[in-house]
Amino acid sequence: MTASAGLTIAALSARIAFSQGAPIRIAVGSDPVFAAFFVAANEKLFEAENVAVDVQTYTDGGEAMNALVAGQVDMACASEPTSILRLPRAELRPLAVVYESGTYTKLVVHSDINDAKQIKKLGVVMGSISEYATRLTIAKLGLDEAVIEFVPSGPPELPALLARGDIDGYFVWEPWPALGVQQGGKIMLNSADVGYLSTQWLTASAALLDSRKGDCEAVLRGLAKGAEIVRNDPERAARAIKAETGIPEATSLQAMQDYTAVVRDFTPADLESYDRMAQFLADSKVTDGVVPYRNDMQTGFFKG
């Protein structure tokens, strides 16, 4: 048997498996920003759209996308930088925006800093939204990057670095800003203040989309109903999240104040923002050149 014949048989086998109506496995992170998925699963909103779904939780969006790349799941949800850098690794198809926020990522500074020009050391999660937002802040406020020291760190270490005075501030996503405030810091800016609206995508494998387009549409319809509950009845959503994940209701309610659960198509403004993100990832050597992500985007797929 030739290699090409083997690949053809494998592709046909995948399509046959999909056509038998096996549950669509969706990988998500384990925190409240994935609320719409937990609500849809808990309230059987996918079943209401006649599609079987298995929502699987991973540590974060990056691990969820890794599972998709590895073929362990059929769909995954993650932020745009996390998704973009994995597109070259497998045949993937981003379907829609399922989350947006201009306030979930925040700049936390030491309590005695009242002017951004006082900042000399910033904790940064390099190659991530943290670095991207930090560089936007420097440009937006006209700061001198030459006199600002970047202190590379993982998110969990940032609050302690701030509390010890090892850094003057850090720009990162929740819950690390809230923890920084608990240890004496204060919020100075959020990502919207520096021109960045973060989004998350729902991405499918090409094999799933090719063989079960209608089911992919059904997943988005069920998810849209879950997102509507998150927006309009956060207490109900928090109960569903706790039932699915064990996350305390108060934690989810706090998190839901900082983002919008939504299911929508990609817009021209989104694509312009993603262009800048793709360029940033290339400039930061996170990707090997600018990822041509537009080739995979399924703009127009979700009709609302």
**Residue 95 domain-assigned (yes or no):** yes
Contact 260, 192 (CB under 8 A): no
Structural domain count, the chain = 2
Q: What's the rounded Cα separation, in Å, for the pair 221 and 210?
A: 18
Neighbours of 141 (CB within 10 A): 15
Structure tokens belonging to residue 91: 């045949």
- The last residue of one of the domains, among 176, 194, 212, is 194
**Residue 72 domain-assigned (yes or no):** yes
pLDDT of residue 123: 97
Query: Which CATH number goes with the domain that contains 19?
Result: 3.40.190.10
Specify whether 85 is located in the same domain as 172.
Answer: no
pLDDT of residue 20: 56
**Residue 113 domain-assigned (yes or no):** yes
**Residue 36 domain-assigned (yes or no):** yes
Specify whether 188 is located in the same domain as 222.
Answer: no
pLDDT tens digit sequence for 69-127: 999 999 999 999 999 999 999 999 999 999 999 999 999 999 999 998 999 999 999 88
Q: Where are the beta strands (DSSP E) in the chain?
A: 24-28, 53-57, 75-79, 92-101, 105-109, 121-124, 149-152, 169-173, 186-190, 198-205, 260-264
Specify whether 189 is located in the same domain as 244.
Answer: no
- The last residue of one of the domains, among 194, 209, 227, is 194
**Residue 280 domain-assigned (yes or no):** no
**Residue 279 domain-assigned (yes or no):** no
Specify whether 17 is located in the same domain as 158.
Answer: no
Q: What's the rounded Cα separation, in Å, for the pair 149 and 140?
A: 17
Q: Which domain holds residue 136?
A: 105-194
Specify whether 34 is located in the same domain as 66.
Answer: yes
Structure tokens belonging to residue 286: 């996170």
Specify whether 35 is located in the same domain as 94.
Answer: yes
Spell out the per-residue pLDDT of the chain, length 304, in tens. Answer: 444 444 444 444 444 445 557 999 999 999 999 999 999 999 999 999 999 999 999 988 999 999 999 999 999 999 999 999 999 999 999 999 999 999 999 999 999 999 989 999 999 998 889 999 999 999 999 999 899 999 999 999 999 999 999 999 999 999 899 999 999 999 999 999 999 999 999 999 999 999 999 999 999 999 999 999 999 999 999 999 999 999 999 999 999 999 999 999 999 999 999 999 999 999 989 999 999 999 999 999 999 7
Specify whether 41 is located in the same domain as 61.
Answer: yes
pLDDT of residue 127: 83
- The last residue of one of the domains, among 144, 164, 194, is 194
Specify whether 81 is located in the same domain as 206.
Answer: yes
pTM of the model: 0.87
Collapsing DSSP to helix, strand or coil, 105 comes out as: strand
**Residue 210 domain-assigned (yes or no):** yes
**What is the number of residues in the chain?**
304
**Residue 207 domain-assigned (yes or no):** yes
Q: Minimal CA–CA distance to 65: which of 92, 101, 46?
A: 92
pLDDT tens digit sequence for 168-190: 999 999 989 999 999 999 999 99
Q: Minimal CA–CA distance to 24: which of 241, 224, 217?
A: 217
